[in-house]
Structure 1
């Protein structure tokens, strides 16, 4: 009798755990089905993300092609303007100086001596010092550009080491005998100085260094004057307001489209780096978790 009672108790305990096991299996089965449904939803969302990224890549390429066409058109217009007589387009210096002074006061705060107050914040460009025009040395100016000694600016541009970040670059023009010395110093590595006799050479070296360090292959034309900030209308207005500019024998005047060069070149060059960074990240697609095996059902 005692043995029979013990067997009944053991059966009752087993039945209790069997019911718990059945409920646990049902719960696990529901979780498996729910997980499968979530995997399907994630796969659909990722397909949509891939589609949107491909559309974005297409639009980026379209925009870059348009920028390239615009740069060609601007270059062609500049070549046409350079072939035209310059005497008819130049205005008397006093009238031009008064006009530049009025334009300068509208865009830059002036001190008590009507001199610009520094620094001058121009968005991605900041002018720390305009420097001094060296008119008695021919290599410190060209027909269309002035390279003032002591000029210092800061430009926001693609990082020299990290393609996903931007970096501030200090640009300086200093005296180096008969030729000016142009320097580009990245904030990310202040000991790394890019120096050369022309701004284009410095900018070309910077682009090459960025390509080598970040593994990119951007074929961009060097735009040294733009990078240093010499094409900005505020800078040209300050330089034109100086009486020393008329002493520069080779200088014939800034191109009338200088402000367009600054706007279009700035958008194109910076956007080229941002576009390449965006496209280079398209390969990163989240992995979809594998669906659970049928043995679990």
Structure 2
């Protein structure tokens, strides 16, 4: 404000800079207020995003838990159905025990014969029940504990001695040749096993075992890691395994292993632990020919029986090769056998 003293009146002139400063100060306050509001909204949005992600994770976990519980429920339902089939004959035997009016009207001798017949029927029913129970007990298999994630699903790879399973694959239920009464061949099943090399059976080689979709029939492959371009292919796992064992015998030069294939054991889907996981997979209930098995978890760590089988274990194969070589070295030559037989003949004729 400027003051001019020349007259009695006072004149004022607004300063443009001061007006601009006041305007800028007013907008600056509004800008700071809007900035604080935006900052609060950003923090609130971040908190809401974190909460949404946590809720989505919880939803995924609950879905996996529900799926796992449904599998267990289906498994227990099949067990209950099997038990109900066993208990069904008991209810029928109760009707046999009740006396019929025809027996009451007959003589005492006829009553005794009727009781004997009913007792024989009851004994026959008991025998059949014992046979069914024994068959169920035989189908009960021992399962090794394996690590599981937080949703109850197995953690891959699953290591079971010399066998390593990398994927269980998917159960094909609409084609009957992809399962039998005892086994299921899921497409995409993949495992590895250490065994003797085809080039030098005394050296280790990692074989990758696969089950592929071959149309009406499954396709089984055993691929050596030192020659992946020459897989051993067959229409069954035992056919592939038998071909591998014959190649091993040819490489050694003598029969060091039985060539009768044990493909399901070599691949791994006949292992009780893996079979239990495949049986719990979706689509198994639709396999019409498959017969469900019972499994029990064994906490005790025991060596697998395949360690003594030369067709499955690398160490057992090496023992068989070493034993065969020592036997060949200690066997008498043909010339020595001919000389000994000639000497024996001369002694007998003299």
- Using the size of structure 1 for normalisation, the TM-score is 0.56
User: CA 1:165–1:171 in structure 2 vs 1: closer, same or farther (change >3 Å)?
Assistant: same
Question: 2:237 maps to what in 1?
Answer: 199
**What do residues 150-198 of structure 1 show as CA deviations (whole Å, max 9, x unaligned)?**
0000011122111221211000001111111000001121112001110
Q: Does the CA-based 8 Å contact 1:172-1:184 persist in structure 2?
A: yes
Residue 156 of structure 2 is aligned with which of 118, 124, 144?
118
Aligned counterparts of 1:139 and 1:122: Cα–Cα separation in 2: 27
User: CA 1:162–1:236 in structure 2 vs 1: closer, same or farther (change >3 Å)?
Assistant: same
Question: 2:252 maps to what in 1?
Answer: 214
Per the TM alignment, residue 280 of structure 1 is displaced from its structure 2 partner at its CA by 4.5
Question: 2:309 maps to what in 1?
Answer: 268
Q: Does the CA-based 8 Å contact 1:145-1:254 persist in structure 2?
A: no
Residue 148 of structure 1 is aligned with which of 166, 186, 190?
186
Structure 1: tracts of 5 or more residues without a match: 1-83, 91-95, 286-297
Query: 3-state DSSP class of the match of 2:251?
Result: helix
Question: 1:181 maps to what in 2?
Answer: 219
Aligned residue runs from structure 1 range 48-67, under 5 A? none
Aligned counterparts of 1:256 and 1:201: Cα–Cα separation in 2: 28
Q: Does the CA-based 8 Å contact 1:133-1:244 persist in structure 2?
A: yes
Aligned counterparts of 1:87 and 1:272: Cα–Cα separation in 2: 33
Aligned counterparts of 1:184 and 1:227: Cα–Cα separation in 2: 10
* Higher RCO structure (Cα 8 Å, ≥6 apart): 1
Question: 1:26 maps to what in 2?
Answer: none
Question: 1:244 maps to what in 2?
Answer: 283
Aligned counterparts of 1:234 and 1:256: Cα–Cα separation in 2: 8
Residue 229 of structure 1 is aligned with which of 265, 268, 273?
268
User: CA 1:215–1:239 in structure 2 vs 1: closer, same or farther (change >3 Å)?
Assistant: same
Question: 1:89 maps to what in 2?
Answer: 136
Aligned counterparts of 2:213 and 2:134: Cα–Cα separation in 1: 31
Aligned counterparts of 1:227 and 1:198: Cα–Cα separation in 2: 12
Question: 1:4 maps to what in 2?
Answer: none
Aligned counterparts of 1:148 and 1:263: Cα–Cα separation in 2: 24
**What do residues 115-157 of structure 1 show as CA deviations (whole Å, max 9, x unaligned)?**
2121112221101101011111101000000100000000111
Aligned counterparts of 1:111 and 1:184: Cα–Cα separation in 2: 30
**What do residues 258-289 of structure 1 show as CA deviations (whole Å, max 9, x unaligned)?**
x9xx943452223652223212554789xxxx
Q: Does the CA-based 8 Å contact 1:236-1:254 persist in structure 2?
A: no
Question: 1:167 maps to what in 2?
Answer: 205
Q: Does the CA-based 8 Å contact 1:161-1:213 persist in structure 2?
A: yes
Which deviates further from its counterpart, 218-227 or 127-136? 218-227
Per the TM alignment, residue 109 of structure 1 is displaced from its structure 2 partner at its CA by 2.2
Aligned counterparts of 2:319 and 2:208: Cα–Cα separation in 1: 24
Structure 2: tracts of 5 or more residues without a match: 1-130, 331-350
User: CA 1:185–1:86 in structure 2 vs 1: closer, same or farther (change >3 Å)?
Assistant: farther
Q: Does the CA-based 8 Å contact 2:177-2:218 persist in structure 1?
A: yes
Matched residue count: 188
